[in-house]
């Protein structure tokens, strides 16, 4: 990852990557139903790109693929 590439994605960007509507994503976050960490900074919510990519690749924290 280069210096100019942000380490996080917005909720809208993550929703786009998942192919779902942004409001569906916000609802899932509110219900604590997302399988990746989120970061709240004031009213802003961002998702660490590396953690999202790891979850989407099916890799668990122990390095095992389910």
Structure confidence at residue 5 (pLDDT): 84
Give backbone dihedrals phi and psi of 41, rounded to 5 degrees, phi first: -125, 100
Residue 61 has pLDDT above 70, yes or no: no
**What's the pTM?**
0.78
CB within 8 Å of 57: residues ≥ 6 apart = 65
CB 65 within 8 A of CB 25: no
Structure confidence at residue 29 (pLDDT): 97
Residue located via tokens 């979850």: 55
Q: Measured in whole angstroms, how far is the alpha carbon of residue 57 from the centre of its chain?
A: 12
Mean pLDDT to the nearest integer, 47-61: 86
Residue 14 has pLDDT above 80, yes or no: yes
Structure confidence at residue 58 (pLDDT): 87
Mean pLDDT to the nearest integer, 38-63: 87
């Amino acid at each position: 990852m280069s210096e100019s590439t942000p380490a996080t994605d917005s909720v809208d960007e993550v929703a786009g990557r998942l192919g779902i509507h942004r409001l569906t994503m916000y609802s899932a976050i509110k219900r604590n139903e997302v399988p990746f960490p989120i970061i709240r900074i004031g009213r802003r919510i961002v998702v660490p790109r590396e953690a999202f990519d790891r979850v989407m690749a099916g890799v668990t924290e122990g390095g095992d693929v389910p």
